Amino acid sequence: MNSTKRADLKPGNKVSRAVRTLERLFGVPRWRTRDPLDELMLTLLSQNTNDNNRDRAYHRLRERLPDWRAVMEADVGEVEAAIHPAGLSEVKAGRMQAILRWVEAAFGGLSLKPLGELSDDDAISLLKTQKGIGHKTAAVLMAFAFDRELCPVDTHVHRIARRLGWVPARASAEATFLRLRPLIPKGKALTFHLNLLRFGRTRCTAQRPLCEDCPLWNDCIWEGKDNE
Ligand code: SF4
């Protein structure tokens, strides 16, 4: 099949092929399901930093303040100092405490397990009422803590989806999430998300992507690919 015909395939077919291609490249990833509140706090710490800094901050916090009630009731400066490696610690500490207070008031205790009773869309809408919880963070929580069939759209997924023409070039991250949702083969949303993250971090990077020898080159409509 020549490249013009492949680029013309419907987005759903291209997505299915990308799922298979990335599984051949990276395998089928595994993930660890965490308690939902742990997952949310970890995701809040991950904003605007890398996994290494996020994990350092999380472990320092858990060492110094071993449960979420202690985090909620601590002086905000103590939380801020503990999570310093994650960056934006002043903002993140305040938001974490505010969200913990909301969780206790909304669910009658420091647990997000009741979210499991809600549909994906209802849970995401409810979570998004809180400052610091955007669409991606809410989708990550539902996908990884509740095994929901969702592919959260972070900066890597967003960039790749537009380069590969799965969504229009000007589609927002949330529009990309909604458009991709029906196109991903059943049972593949989370593993596809993880493989897209790996692809975006190691090959289809924001700057200087490794287009030469890219296994998705024929499906890619990004105009810069011929120069990389
Ligand atoms: S050809 Fe380049 S821009 Fe296109 S998907 Fe592959 S690495 Fe990304």
Q: Which atom of ligand 1 is nearest to the CA of 203?
A: 7
174 close to 167: Cβ distance less than 8 angstroms: no
What is the average pLDDT value for the chain, to the nearest integer? 93
- 114 and 208 both lie in a single domain: no
Distance between CA atoms of residues 195 and 27, nearest Å: 8
Degrees to nearest 5, angle at CA 137 with 91 and 12 = 150
Q: Which atom of ligand 1 is nearest to the CA of 211?
A: 2
Q: Which atom of ligand 1 is nearest to the CA of 217?
A: 1
- For ligand 1, atom 8: residue with the closest CA: 204
Give residue ranges with CB within 6 A of ligand 1.
163-164, 203-204, 209-211, 214, 216-217, 220, 222, 225, 228
Q: Which of 124, 146, 168 is the last residue of a domain?
A: 146
- 129 and 158 both lie in a single domain: no
Look up residue 179 and give its amino acid: R
Q: Residue 226 — very low, low, confident or very high, per pLDDT cuts 50/70/90?
A: confident
Domain that holds residue 177: 3-30+152-227
- 86 and 176 both lie in a single domain: no
Give 118-168 pLDDT, tens digit per residue: 999 999 999 999 999 999 999 999 999 999 999 999 999 999 999 999 999
Half-sphere exposure of 55 (CA within 13 A, CB side): 3
- For ligand 1, atom 4: residue with the closest CA: 220
Average confidence (pLDDT) over 175-191:
95
C-alpha distances (whole Å) from 186 to each of 57, 154, 222 are 35, 20, 27
- Ligand 1 mean position, distance from CA 36 (Å): 34
Residue 28 clears pLDDT 90, i.e. is over it: yes
Give 101-117 pLDDT, tens digit per residue: 999 999 999 999 999 99
Rounded to a whole number, what is the distance in angstroms from the first to the last CA of the chain? Answer: 23
Distance between CA atoms of residues 154 and 151, nearest Å: 9
- 130 and 183 both lie in a single domain: no
- 141 and 178 both lie in a single domain: no
- Ligand 1 mean position, distance from CA 75 (Å): 47
- 162 and 198 both lie in a single domain: yes
- 137 and 46 both lie in a single domain: yes
Task: Give me the catalytic one of 14, 92, 136, 188.
Answer: 136
The pTM of this model reads 0.88
- Ligand 1 mean position, distance from CA 89 (Å): 35
Q: Is 113 a catalytic residue?
A: no
Distance between CA atoms of residues 128 and 121, nearest Å: 11
Q: How many domains does the chain have?
A: 2
Average confidence (pLDDT) over 200-211:
96
pLDDT at residue 9 in the model: 64
Query: Domain holding 11: CATH number?
Result: 1.10.1670.10
Distance between CA atoms of residues 125 and 71, nearest Å: 25
Average confidence (pLDDT) over 176-200:
96
- 140 and 191 both lie in a single domain: no
Residues 75-103 as b/e (b if ≥16 CB within 10 A, e otherwise) read eeeebbebbbbbbebeebbebbbebbeeb
